[in-house]
């Protein structure tokens, strides 16, 4: 199937076949991605790649028995075999209580899409060079990173009279800069529109952080007030993921049993958007063809809404929020509400604290209680009596999400888009100052 084959025609063919095989419900999501990638390390491009890929996700319900599959093997004969195998798999299962008829269309979809035609042909190498040069100019000795552009077209059709399209583009830069003594700094630039993309700024931030982080001292274990950058907030507080009704009903979320409860400070607000205008990615229809929407997840610190597909909505006696995932609802675009503080105010407010600019390897000890630990990565600094102090290293942060949500002291007005290795869902996140976070060190 070429990149320009008629998506609706392919979808209708799948629906017709599955219905002939006895399925009552069929949804088809055809996704076409053109991904270009530049990877660089030690100031040099290490790989340039271009991948064109079409995938077809098919959901079938056969007498309430359900199966879902994705195939990247899109020749007509292979697709026909795949659908037959999928229907056969479903028909062999026990009837499912989770079965709900697919939502009936047609629907009207919002106009808004985060799509920039210029990204269809944009050459990436020069942007990578800009990031590298800016980091070197800021004092780094070597620079590594990845720069990816994505042009995506999605078509959703269902047996319930739904048909809709979505298009989106992204350009994502993740850059790390290193100084002579291997101190490192991190920068991101994530956008759907080329006009919002700034590789030079990301490279410069990485270089400047790296330079500031030279010759760190070993941090002492203890409790600290910690200022987290948007990059870290988006990773350690995956609140929209935890709001998935599937995870909540499975008992694998710290938001289980917390609906309408005060889970955080009153200044905390979080939404899921289908498409955030001018933001990063998103979709205007979900995998069941339902229009996506703005859903209030946390309002003034109260956990207000779970994210639903039609199946979880039935379980909880409510309506879908347009977040299908056939099995588990998924967030589209996470948006933290802005606060009224600034990074400078946060620093001034802090007597004994830390500024953590990046992290990785967040692992949960207990998914239900939200206890986790994570490792700061790249530049981190002590903050003493309202000023940035010396760089620090060699520690991890060990805490619980639920405790942290109630210990947020300040939220910044500035928010940045985050999507990279450690944050899969596009997230608009602020800086946060969180009180009394436990830092531990290795023996």
Residues 139-158 touching other proteins, rule: CB under 8 A, are 142, 144-146, 148
**Region of 11-19, 36-44, 258-266, 302-310 interacting with other proteins (CB under 8 A):** 36-44
Among 11, 149, 158, 374, binds other proteins (CB under 8 A): 374
Scan residues 236-265 and list those touching other proteins (CB under 8 A). 250-252
**Window 407-426: contact mask with other proteins (x via CB under 8 A):** --------------x-----
Query: CB of residue 352 vs other proteins: minimum separation in angstroms?
Result: 21
Among 9, 80, 97, 385, binds other proteins (CB under 8 A): 97
- Measure the CA–CA gap between 263 and 382, rounded to whole angstroms: 29
b/e burial code for range 186-218 (CB count within 10 A of at least 16 → b): bbbbbbbbeebbbbbbbbbbbbbbbbbbeebee
**Window 424-443: contact mask with other proteins (x via CB under 8 A):** ----------------xxxx
By the rule CB under 8 A, 327 interacts with other proteins: yes
Quickly count helices (H) and strands (E) in the chain.
10, 20
CB-nearer residue toward other proteins: 223 or 441? 441
The H or E element containing residue 273 is strand 270-273
**Region of 91-99, 259-267, 269-277, 297-305 interacting with other proteins (CB under 8 A):** 91-99
Among 14, 15, 29, 86, binds other proteins (CB under 8 A): 86
| CB-neighbour burial class of residue 410 (10 A; exposed 0-12, middle 13-18, buried 19+) | buried
By the rule CB under 8 A, 73 interacts with other proteins: yes
- Measure the CA–CA gap between 321 and 274, rounded to whole angstroms: 10
Quickly list DSSP for 99-149.
--PPPP------S-----GGGGT---HHHHHHHHHHHHHTT-SEEEEEEEE
Scan residues 265-284 and list those touching other proteins (CB under 8 A). none
- Measure the CA–CA gap between 90 and 63, rounded to whole angstroms: 9
**Region of 104-112, 122-130, 234-242, 267-275 interacting with other proteins (CB under 8 A):** 122-130
By the rule CB under 8 A, 35 interacts with other proteins: yes
Residue 77 in tokens: 């004969």
By the rule CB under 8 A, 41 interacts with other proteins: yes
By the rule CB under 8 A, 129 interacts with other proteins: yes
429: preceding bond cis by omega (within 30 degrees): no
CB-nearer residue toward other proteins: 203 or 289? 203
């Amino acid at each position: 199937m070429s990149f320009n084959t008629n998506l609706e025609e392919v979808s209708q063919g799948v629906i017709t076949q599955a219905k002939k095989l006895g399925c009552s419900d069929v949804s088809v999501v055809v996704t076409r991605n053109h991904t270009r990638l530049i990877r660089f390390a030690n100031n040099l491009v290490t790989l340039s790649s271009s991948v064109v890929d079409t995938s077809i996700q098919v959901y079938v319900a056969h007498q309430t028995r359900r199966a879902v599959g994705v195939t990247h093997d899109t020749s007509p004969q292979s697709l026909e075999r795949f659908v037959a195998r999928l229907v056969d798999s479903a028909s062999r299962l026990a009837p499912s209580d989770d079965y709900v008829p697919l939502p009936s269309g047609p629907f009207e979809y919002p106009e808004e899409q985060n799509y920039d035609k210029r990204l269809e042909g944009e050459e990436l190498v020069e942007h990578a060079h800009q990031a590298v040069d800016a980091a070197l100019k800021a004092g780094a000795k070597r620079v590594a990173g990845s720069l990816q552009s994505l042009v995506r077209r999605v078509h959703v059709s269902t047996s319930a009279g739904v048909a809709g399209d979505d298009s989106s583009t992204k350009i994502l830069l993740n850059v790390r800069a290193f100084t002579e003594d291997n101190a490192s700094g991190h920068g991101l630039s994530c956008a759907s529109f080329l006009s919002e993309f700034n590789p030079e700024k990301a490279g410069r931030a990485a270089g400047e952080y790296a330079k500031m982080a030279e010759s760190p001292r070993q941090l002492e274990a203890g409790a600290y007030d910690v200022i987290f950058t948007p990059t870290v907030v988006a990773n350690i507080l995956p609140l929209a993921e935890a709001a998935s009704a599937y995870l909540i009903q499975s008992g694998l979320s710290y938001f289980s049993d917390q609906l309408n409860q005060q889970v955080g400070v009153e200044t905390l607000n979080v939404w899921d958007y289908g498409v955030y205008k001018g933001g990063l990615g998103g979709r205007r229809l979900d995998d069941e063809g339902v229009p996506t929407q703005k859903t209030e997840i946390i309002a003034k610190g109260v956990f207000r809404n779970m994210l639903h597909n039609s199946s979880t909505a039935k379980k909880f006696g409510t309506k879908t929020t347009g977040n299908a995932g056939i099995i588990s609802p998924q967030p589209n675009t996470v948006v933290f509400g802005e606060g009224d503080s600034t990074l400078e105010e946060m620093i001034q407010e802090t007597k004994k604290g830390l500024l953590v600019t990046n992290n990785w390897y967040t692992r949960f000890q207990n998914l239900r209680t939200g206890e986790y630990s994570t490792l700061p990565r790249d530049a981190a600094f002590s903050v003493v009596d309202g000023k940035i102090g010396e760089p620090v290293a060699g520690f991890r942060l060990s805490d619980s999400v639920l405790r942290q949500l109630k210990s947020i002291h300040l939220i910044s007005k500035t928010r940045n888009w985050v999507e990279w290795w450690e944050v899969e869902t596009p997230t608009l996140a602020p800086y946060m100052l969180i009180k009394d976070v436990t830092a531990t060190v290795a023996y």
